[in-house]
Structure 1
Amino acid sequence: MNIPAHAPLHLLHMAAIGTLATHARQPEGFPYPSVLPFAPDPQHRPTILVSRLAEHTHNLHADPRAGFLVVDAPDGDVLSGQRVTLLGTFEPIDSTPEVVRRYLRYHPDAERYLVLGDFTFWAMKLERLRYIGGFGAMGWLAGADLDPLPPLGLDEENALIEHFAVRSQGADGPQLLGVDRYGADLKLGGARTRFVFDDVKRNTETLHAALEDCIERHAN
């Protein structure tokens, strides 16, 4: 069954936690699942922050192939909720100020791990993914089909976030975490949510208009 790519794309921006399945070294060959926070990068790929001492990190160094499961079941009914299983390879990425800044917007508590010095960022290169949106709504997608458009640059995203930061009203005002051509990730009242644009925003002008609408709707 064909599925719209925007469905798993938005799901990857709605969830804060995923299940990482690596290949165990001991006992060799068994899947080794672990739960950990993640943030979507500008290409919507899961970015994780892991300790060099963690078992899953050792596993990724030995074999970077992995699965990553993301679920959204707010009412507790997992079988009726959305979920997506990603297949691909993880690769370490440099802890540049831009990468750190973006990840900490999604997970500010992670700053305490960064100061320890032994945590590194890894991002997943997608090969295939399987999305299930409920009974009878499921299908496979190639990783390249998740988003065929060029992603926003980190500088452009930061400029948009800084521009609209002044519109937030106090601690309960909307806080922009990330922006892409399909929607915006928000923290609202301490909870994370996703504002889905009505269509794809291909340039800065349409992105500004969509974010104006987003902030206006959530300002009160």
Structure 2
Amino acid sequence: MNIPAHAPLHLLHTAAVGTLATHARQPEGFPYPSMLPFAPDPQHRPTILVSRLAEHTHNLHADPRAGFLAVDAPDGDVLSGQRVTLLGNFEPVDSTPEVVRRYLRYHPDAERYLVLGDFTFWAMRLERLRYIGGFGAMGWLDGADLDPLPPLGFDEENALIEEFSRASGGDRTLELLGADRYGADLKRAGARERFAFDDAKLDFQTLHAALEVCIQRHRN
């Protein structure tokens, strides 16, 4: 069944926690699942922050192939909710100021782990994914089909965030965590929300206009 790529894309921006399944070293070959927070990178790939001492980190060093499950079931009914299973390879990501800054917007409590010095970022290079949006709404996608457009640059995203902060009039209950060509990730009164655009925004001007609409709707 064909599914729209924007459905799993938005889900990856809605969920804050996922299940990582690595290949266990002992006993060898068994799936080793663990739950951990993640943030979508500019290409919507799950970015995780893991300790070098963690079992799943050792597993990834030995075999980077992994599965990753994200779920959105706000009423607790998982079978009726949305979920996406990602298959691919996790790769280490340099802890550049841009990567750190973006991750901490989504997970500010992670700053205490970065101070320890033994935590590193990894991002998933997608091969395939399977999305289930409820009974009868499911299908496979190639990783490259998730988003064929060039990602938004860090400088462009930061400019939008600064503009959003000014336009919201200093409202601290409404924060823009991240923006991309398909939507905006918000934190409203401490809760994370995804504001989906009506269509893909291909340039900075249309992105800016879409965020203005976002602010107006959340003020009402």
> Which range, TM-score by smaller chain?
over 0.9
- Aligned AA for 1:73? A
- Partner in structure 2 of residue 171 of structure 1: 172
Distance 1:72 1:150 in 2: 26
* AA in 2 matched with 1:84: V
Question: SS at the partner of 2:116?
Answer: coil
Dislocated runs of 4+, deviation >4 Å: none
| Structure 1 spans left out of the alignment, 5+ residues | none
Distance in 1 (CA, whole Å) between partners of 2:144 and 2:15 is: 21
The residue matched to 2:159 in structure 1 has which SS? helix
Task: Report the residue type matching 2:171 in the other structure.
Answer: G
The CA distance in 2 between the partners of 1:165 and 1:179, in whole Å, is 13
Write the mapping of 1:90-105 to structure 2, written as runs, cut at 5 A.
90-105=90-105
Rounded to whole Å, the distance in 2 between the matches of 1:23 and 1:157 is: 35
Deviations 1:8-37 (A, max 9, x none): 000000000000000000000000000000
The one-letter code sitting in structure 1 at the alignment partner of 2:53 is: L
User: One-letter code of the match for 1:122?
Assistant: W
- Are 2:121 and 1:124 equivalent residues in the alignment? no
Aligned residues: 219
**Where does 1:1-220 land on structure 2 (aligned, <5 Å)?**
1-168=1-168, 169-172=170-173, 174-220=174-220
The one-letter amino acid of 2:215's match is: I
Residues 76-123 of structure 1, C-alpha deviations (whole Å, 9 max, x = no match): 000000000000000001000000000000000000000000000000
Three-state SS of the structure 2 residue aligned to 1:120 is: strand
TM-score with structure 2 length normalisation? Answer: 0.98
Deviation of the 1:163 alpha carbon:
1.4
| Structure 2 letter corresponding to 1:140 | W
Question: What SS does structure 1 have at the residue aligned with 2:144?
Answer: helix
SS at match of 2:152: coil
Q: Distance in 1 between matches of 2:165 and 2:118?
A: 32
The alignment partner of 2:209 has SS state of helix
| Aligned partner of residue 130 in structure 2, secondary structure | strand
Structure 2 residues without counterparts, runs of 5 or longer: none
> Could you say what the CA RMSD is over the residues aligned between the two structures, in angstroms?
0.7
| Cα distance in 1, alignment partners of residues 109 and 171 from structure 2 | 20
Letter in 1 for 2:189: G
- TM-score scaled by length of structure 1: 0.98
Q: CA deviation at 1:171?
A: 2.6
Q: Deviations over 1:130-170 (max 9, x none)?
A: 00000000000000000000000111111111111123343
Say which SS state the counterpart of residue 171 (structure 1) adopts: coil
